[in-house]
Amino acid sequence: MKIAIIGTGGVGGYFGAKLAQAGYNVTFVARGAHLKAMQNKGLHIKSILGDFRLDTVQATDTITELDRPDVILIGVKSWQIREIREDISKILKKDSMIIPLQNGVFIAEELSEKINRGNILGGLCRIISEIESPGVIRHSGVTPIIIFGELNNAKTDRVFRVQELFRTAGIASEIAEDIEADLWKKFITICLSGLLVVSNSTYGELRELRGTRQLMIDLLTEIFLLSQKMGVHIEADFVDKTVAFVDTYPYDATSSLTRDVWDKKPSEIEYQNGTVVGLGEKYGIATPVNAFVYHCILPSELRARGQRYEAFIPNNVSIK
């Protein structure tokens, strides 16, 4: 089985390395110094579950060089999906399976605008990880897991084959009973990333102060109420469960969006709090905390992208 990892950051690098360690034919797509380090020295995983090193890996910076992979895990940022989906369409076999692991609830829809929907599964993951240095991935929190499934929740032979693939690589996985609900649960949780930015805090700092803890709860509650308005099936006590889960994060942990904004890089803000604001306006749900977070980050986002507001077309204008 040929596997492609498109985007070898904290997510793609970790899961792809586990698959390669298990002996699967894995090709990584990366760029810059990270790619060069992988090509010259392999890939090193530092993990709370145990470190390991791959002395040699197959790696490229060109998606169209990939040779008809059977399974594609996409680990790029959400806003990069539109940039790469046409190239992905050129390397697919009829039965290739794409599992996007981005944050956001409309990734499959964006992919399907250029790719046959039959090639796409719904997917998400839970892990706190990042590129520590070129060629080195650091997994610092949360037991890694991939949750995936058919977009219509059917239990097909291929999803069981993929689950077996993950099992033999030592990757925890679940076949979703309701992939839309699971995507929304991840979405609600990850939208705390923007609150970390504006509060200039880690998850530990955010949760331990009464005021920021209440903001955290209010932000989560707004998105939960929005999901209910949209008919997403999420249990009534989900916000309480999420707060309890965040309480288990490493004290100094942050998120990729948080680090991107702090590092003055383009971020996924449109796919997180920006999407909440757009959907809230569409469905008549007030989202004041998410709106505050989004609009506070927007000026730095525009600077990172070299854009002026009047020329900026936010992704959430395409919300269905």
Give the integer Cα–Cα distance in Å for 109 and 140: 31
Amino acid at 160: F
Domain's final residue, options 154, 177, 200: 177
Tell me the backbone φ, ψ of residue 129, rounded to 5 degrees: -155, 160
Q: What is the CATH number of the domain that holds 151?
A: 3.40.50.720
**H-assigned helices in the chain:** 10-21, 32-41, 81-89, 107-112, 157-168, 179-190, 192-199, 203-208, 210-229, 238-246, 256-262, 273-283, 288-305
Same domain for 18 and 98: yes
Same domain for 160 and 209: no
CA 263 from chain center: how many Å? 18
Give the integer Cα–Cα distance in Å for 104 and 122: 11
pLDDT in tens, the chain (320 residues): 999 999 999 999 999 999 999 999 999 999 999 999 999 999 999 999 999 999 999 999 999 999 999 999 999 999 999 999 999 999 999 999 999 999 999 999 999 999 999 999 999 999 999 999 999 999 999 999 999 999 999 999 999 999 999 999 999 999 999 999 999 999 999 999 999 999 999 999 999 999 999 999 999 999 999 999 999 999 999 999 999 999 999 999 999 999 999 999 999 999 999 999 999 999 999 999 999 999 999 999 999 999 765 544 455 544 54
Radius of gyration of the CA atoms of the chain, in A: 19
Give the integer Cα–Cα distance in Å for 258 and 242: 19
- Residue range of the domain that includes 295: 183-318
Domain count, the chain: 2
Same domain for 253 and 114: no
Residue ranges of E strands in 48-169: 52-54, 58-60, 71-74, 97-100, 122-133, 136-149
pTM: 0.92
Q: What is the CATH number of the domain that holds 285?
A: 1.10.1040.10
